[in-house]
Amino acid sequence: MSAPISAVPLEQAVWAALADVHDPEIPVISVVDLGVVRRVEVAPGRVRVELLPTFVGCPAVDLMRSAVEERLQGFAPDVEATVTFAEPWTSERITPEGRRRLRESGFGPPPPERPELSALDPAGSDTQPDRLLPLLPVGECPYCGSRATTLENGFGPTLCRAIYHCTACRQPFEQFKQV
Amino acid sequence: MTATPAERRVTRASAVPDVPAFDTAGLDAPVREALAELLLTMADDEFVLGFWDSEWTGIAPMLEEDVAFSSLAQDELGHARVLYEMLAQLTGGDADAIAFGRPVDGYRHCRLLDHPRTDWAFSVARRWLYDTADAVRLGALRRSSFAPLAEVVAKIRREETYHLMHMDVWLRRLAGGGEEPRRRLEDALAKLWPDALSPFAPLAGEHALLEAGILGQPMAELAERHLAQATATLAGLGIALAGGRVTGSPPSTVDGRDRAVPAESFRWLWNEFTMVHRSEEGATW
């Protein structure tokens, strides 16, 4: 928890410091591993960090933003974290390390591949009557790794979590929603 | 005097909106006005639906649905918040004041959302109708020339997919769930059907929105697409919309009550959701 050593490039030091900032709702994972940090910009005297909300209505965004700014105090006289929708946060953004940490704490990591959002993709097919609904998102059991799972509830204790049941090891589990 | 971290946080949160700043210089007055109308109607729809959803918190027919409807409510209020903040930036207003500070007849939500919560089948039927309509509307905005809206829509659509998926499961469950659930679902659809197209009620500035490429297709076209989809799904469930119980009056986007005069049930809801705001106006915490 100290100001950067001058030998380390500032941008790299900022990324390293951001690894100390954790998701307030799922504290096992950092904002970096969650893929919430879109960009770090470093200029003489200032640091800018862009954050992508996991969900539009995520109540933790304000906390993340102030936690990022607090962590970066001393890195530059002018530090600012902003929220952007310039690209949608998707569950693919979670890093392999983030997935490992989620799994270790009993959260199903969202499978790394993009969900089959046929209805939402830009080919224009979403206007056909039978294509409004995408395929079901895939669940991966954090205990046994099986994908033989069923979605019990697309809605869980926070906006970003869904409830699954593993038919292989018969455990219920929460998964970070695949979006 | 140094503020404590907690104090700093509150000030910070209320001072900085969750939508990035955008440039409105390129929008001429009629387009700006039309865009404001579009944002207000969409935000009001999401906001009002979110509050109706929240009426199930604690009393839904099963725990899983209590969680689901509370989460749906939170999603919708989140969507409304971003749209209100965008509107506030466009018009120089304040998002909280727009959301909570208007008189009851100042809201522009669609008629479909002017019915009380009623029973579970009714809430399912309404949400399913709204979500299928909303998917069509969002589809027409995903390539909007107004980039801040297109960006937020891209994000919202991914979330709405879960809503639609959830309501589709419930629609099928009630339709195939035996005599009483089926009857309640059909009664609800019969009552809601005349308002099924109301999310696409024409906007005063629609022409300007189409010209500017902000809205992809005319509302009338979107309404037709929604009608075709909803009818096809219901027909697949054996719910006849022509000659069956569900046809009361045919759905229409225009009947004089379009996004204007709220029903008694909305007055009650408005009273609920503005109560805290009205109790101490201008308070921050």
Domain stops at, among A37, A55, A83: A83
Mean pLDDT calculated for residue range A10-25:
95
Phi, psi of A72 (to 5 degrees): -95, 5
Give a yes or no: residue A57 inside a domain.
Answer: yes
How far is A143 from chain B, CA to nearest CA, in Å? 23
The reply to whether residue B20 touches residue A84, judged by beta carbons under 8 angstroms, is yes
* Average pLDDT score over residue span B119-137: 96
Q: Does B217 touch chain A (CB under 8 A)?
A: no
For residues A167 and A104, membership in a common domain is answered with yes
Q: Are residues A105 and A158 in the same domain?
A: yes
Number of domains in chain A: 2
Question: A70: domain range?
Answer: 10-83
Q: Are residues A52 and A122 in the same domain?
A: no
Whether A92 has a pLDDT exceeding 60, the answer reads yes
User: Does A132 score more than 80 pLDDT?
Assistant: no
- Among A83, A112, A139, which residue terminates a domain? A83
Q: Is residue A2 part of a domain?
A: no
Chain A residues near residue B159 by CB distance under 8 angstroms: 55-56, 159, 179
What sign has the CA pseudo-torsion B162, B163, B164, B170? positive
Architecture of domain B27-275: Up-down Bundle (1.20)
A30 shares its domain with A66: yes
**Tens-digit pLDDT profile for residues B182-204:** 999 999 999 999 899 999 999 99
Q: A52 with A101, same domain?
A: no
Its ipTM equals: 0.84
Residues A113 and A142 in one domain: yes
Residues A67 and A103 in one domain: no
Category of B249 on φ-ψ map: left (φ > 0), alpha (ψ -120 to 50) or beta: beta
DSSP code string of B168-195: HHHHHHHHTS-HHHHHHHHHHHHHHGGG
* A107, A164: one domain: yes
Q: Which of the listed residues A83, A110, A135 is the one where a domain comes to its end?
A: A83
Report if residue A122 sits inside a domain: yes
CA distance B29 to B35: 10
Locate B149 and state its tokens: 């809206």
Is A30 among the domain residues? Answer: yes
Same domain (yes/no): A106, A77? no
Residues A25 and A63 placed together within one structural domain of the fold = yes
Name the pLDDT band for A3 (thresholds 50, 70, 90). low
Tell me the CATH number at A40.
3.30.300.130
Residue A167 lies in a domain: yes
Interchain proximity B9–A63, CB inside 8 Å: yes
